[in-house]
Amino acid sequence: MRYLRGNSQVAALTVLVLAPLGVVAGFIWSAVAPASRFVVTDAGPMLADPVAQTLIEADGWFAVITGGFGLLCGIAGYALARRRPVQALVGLAGGGLLAGHLALLVGGTAKGTIRAAAPGGFTTTTSLGVTANGVLFAWPILATAAFWIIEFVVFSQERREVRGS
């Protein structure tokens, strides 16, 4: 029982450390990603400029920011918890999912005000969102990938040293 408690503490601590980083990532995303402009009409909200790429740009910025945080967290996770790799990876994966979700919530609420009235309705700046849900996995995938790549390199070096002696 004591062993299980110690192992779950590593994973839980990792998740708790990553959660506030998700809030930071959300604010960064809302600062750099372009918001899409919509016109609210009787038929519902419609893109003010149908050929605008802002929806795709917002997804891209989300992936870049959360992926960057994931890489840094994977490196830090390996440096701090390499003696407990399974627990660290569970924490990185769960914490990355939570942090990505928090980044989406925080970034999505940081923008979104009515800018001006237009003949077809109100032109608004939307709150950010993602249209490609796969970008929500950038953080946990890159965090765990960074961890495993470092583990593979270190293990390979140790193995070569043992063969060389």
pLDDT above 90: residue 65: yes
Q: How many domains does the chain have?
A: 1
pLDDT above 70: residue 116: no
pLDDT tens digits, 118-153: 555 566 656 577 889 999 999 999 999 999 999 999
DSSP state of 126: P
What is the extent of the structural domain holding 35?
2-164
Least confident of 18-22, 91-95, 113-117: 113-117
Quote the pLDDT of residue 145.
97
Quote the pLDDT of residue 96.
97
3-state SS assignment for residue 115 = strand
Residue pair 88/77 in contact (Cβ under 8 Å)? The answer is yes
What gap in Å lies between CA 109 and CA 92, rounded to an integer? 25
pLDDT above 80: residue 41: no
> Any residues with CB less than 8 A from the CB of 151 and at least 6 apart, and which?
78, 82, 85
